[in-house]
Chain A
Amino acid sequence: AQSVSQHNHHVILSEAASLELGCNYSYGGTVNLFWYVQYPGQHLQLLLKYFSGDPLVKGIKGFEAEFIKSKFSFNLRKPSVQWSDTAEYFCAVKSSASKIIFGSGTRLSIRP
């Protein structure tokens, strides 16, 4: 069965630090990949998505993610975080039908 793993449950960084959140999935076929963000008290919003083409995907607010097929990974990066990036981040994969599988989420806390 397909699954999504986010190994970091809680990441704490200082402002201006670089960010990388890990995401690995298990599925051998064609996948669509997503990163969603949930700000405190709000609903999930799409940060970026990968369907095909350039494996380096740029999203909103300076985020990017790289699809590495050989590693089954889709890590999220940002070169310099801000306090407003404090949120929970969810990686998700769609491989069949309409169902998307979400990871367990990574809580990001930024120290001002």
Chain B
Amino acid sequence: DAGVIQSPRHEVTEMGQEVTLRCKPISGHNSLFWYRQTMMRGLELLIYFNNNVPIDDSGMPEDRFSAKMPNASFSTLKIQPSEPRDSAVYFCASTLSGGQGAYEQFFGPGTRLTVL
């Protein structure tokens, strides 16, 4: 299994531009999570989906942030417009909910976003 796949691995953009981060969860997993990691605030959960449905988006910082999961194998996190304070590493994680051995989250390699 290829694990959780994220793209791009690095993104450098100018303030005001739209940024789209992509995630492909592990095949068969039914829950997907978006996290943001910064030195100041550590690891923050932004939003998570169960069976493609957003369950908890209370961690999404502002309306500039939006996330979608159109199908079980793809999710996007969009920032529009981007600001320098959005610079961080964004991780996607997936898990199989329900049953023994559930809830261990598998993390992708992350996208390092720099907004100039």
Question: What is A's interface to B at a CB cutoff of 8 Å?
Answer: 32, 34, 36, 42-46, 49, 51, 90, 94, 97-102, 104-105
Q: Which secondary structure dominates chain A's binding surface?
A: strand
Residues on A with C-beta less than 8 A from B55 are: 97-99
Q: How many CB-defined contacts (below 8 Å) exist between A and B?
A: 48
Considering only residues 70-116 of chain B, those with a C-beta below 8 Å from chain A are 91, 93, 95, 97, 100-101, 103-110
Number of interface residues of B (CB under 8 A): 23
Q: Which secondary structure dominates chain B's binding surface?
A: strand
9 A-B pairs with least C-beta separation: A43-B107, A98-B31, A44-B107, A98-B97, A104-B42, A94-B103, A102-B43, A43-B109, A43-B110
In the complex, what distance in Å separates the CA atom of A49 from the CA atom of B50?
Answer: 22
Residues A98 and B43 in contact, CB atoms below 8 Å apart:
no
